[in-house]
Amino acid sequence: MLQRKVRLWFMFVIVLFIAGCNILPSEHSLLSALEKLAKYEEEFHEQQKPLVELEKKEKEIYDRIMSLGMKQFREILKLSEQALEIIEKREKRIKKEYESIQLAQKQLEEVKKEISSLSDQPIKEDASHLAQLLEKRYMTYDELYNYYQQALQLETDLYRMFQNKQLTLEQLEQQVVKINSAYDEIKKANEQFNLYTVQYNEAKKALINKLK
Task: Dump pLDDT digits (tens) for 89-145.
Answer: 999 999 999 999 999 999 999 999 999 998 889 999 999 999 999 999 999 999 999
Cα–Cα distance measured from residue 110 to residue 168, given in angstroms and rounded to the nearest whole number: 54
Whole-Å CA distances, 181 to 1, 56, 123, 175: 15, 19, 43, 10
Residue 108 CB coordination number (10 Å):
19
**Domain boundaries defined on the chain:** 25-211
Task: Give the pTM.
Answer: 0.85
Q: What single-letter amino acid sits at 77?
A: L
Q: b/e map of 168-194 (b: 16 or more CB within 10 Å)?
A: eeeeeeebeebbeebbebbeebbebbb
User: What percentage of the chain exceeds 70 in pLDDT?
Assistant: 89
pLDDT score of 2: 46
Provide the pLDDT confidence category of residue 212 given band limits of 50, 70 and 90: low
Class of 25-211 in CATH? mainly alpha
Q: What is the mean pLDDT of residues 162-181?
A: 94
Cα–Cα distance measured from residue 99 to residue 111, given in angstroms and rounded to the nearest whole number: 19
Contact 85, 61 (CB under 8 A): no
Q: Which of 4-8, 98-102, 112-116, 151-155 has the lowest mean pLDDT?
A: 4-8
More confident residue, 70 or 185: 185
- For the segment 17-41, what is each residue's pLDDT rounded down to a tens digit? 444 455 678 888 888 898 899 899 8
